[in-house]
Amino acid sequence: MPLSLWNSRSLQNCNHWQAKFFGTTAREPPNEKRNVKATRALLAAALGVGLAFSVAAQGKEQPGEMVEMKSLPASVQQTINQKAAGGEIVQIKREGDVNGKWNYEVVVRTNGKEWGFEMDPSGKFVKKHSDQK
């Protein structure tokens, strides 16, 4: 038996058993175009989700500089003492925003619950944080 005939019968036999056990044969051409498109779509979706989560995570915590009460102007100290009356001042942070402006953010603990408020550099009250910790 010539070698080329033996090799082709051997491949046919291999394809037969491969198709029987694995449901495919080596002779089936792969659909590479579909696989590449699916891979690109999956990669694009994964990148989109990753970027969305990173933006959401950055939006929650703003970077800021911790400051001491004694280093603040008198008007700011007065506003803090008025708003935090009866509570313990947990932290005071100087935070900037994207427009180049900055505020003081104060976290106060009252009756075991933490809450916060913001004021501008002159000591004017800006807003109270509604989320309690």
| Cα 133 to Cα 23, 66, 72, 92, 121, distances in angstroms | 57, 19, 25, 16, 25
pLDDT digits 0-9 by tens, 39-91: 888 888 888 888 877 766 665 555 678 888 888 889 888 988 888 888 888 99
Pairing of strands 125-129, 102-110: unpaired
More confident residue, 5 or 79: 79
Q: What is the mean pLDDT of residues 24-38?
A: 63
Q: What is the mean pLDDT of residues 11-19?
A: 61
Domain boundaries, given as residue ranges, for the chain: 3-60, 64-129
Cα separation of 79 and 95, whole Å?
17
Q: What is the mean pLDDT of residues 119-129?
A: 87
Percentage with pLDDT > 70 across the chain? 64
Short-list 90, 100, 98, 75, CA closest to 129: 90
pLDDT value at 111 more than 70 = yes
pTM of the model: 0.50
Structure tokens at 33: 């175009």
| Cα 75 to Cα 26, 32, 50, distances in angstroms | 81, 70, 44
CATH class belonging to 64-129: alpha beta
Cα separation of 84 and 18, whole Å?
76
pLDDT digits 0-9 by tens, 78-104: 988 888 888 888 999 988 876 778 888
Q: How confident is the model at residue 30 (pLDDT cuts 50, 70, 90)?
A: low
Please report the pLDDT score of residue 69 as a whole number.
85
Please report the pLDDT score of residue 47 as a whole number.
85
For the chain, the maximum distance between any two Cα atoms, rounded to a whole number of angstroms, is 104
Please report the pLDDT score of residue 128 as a whole number.
86
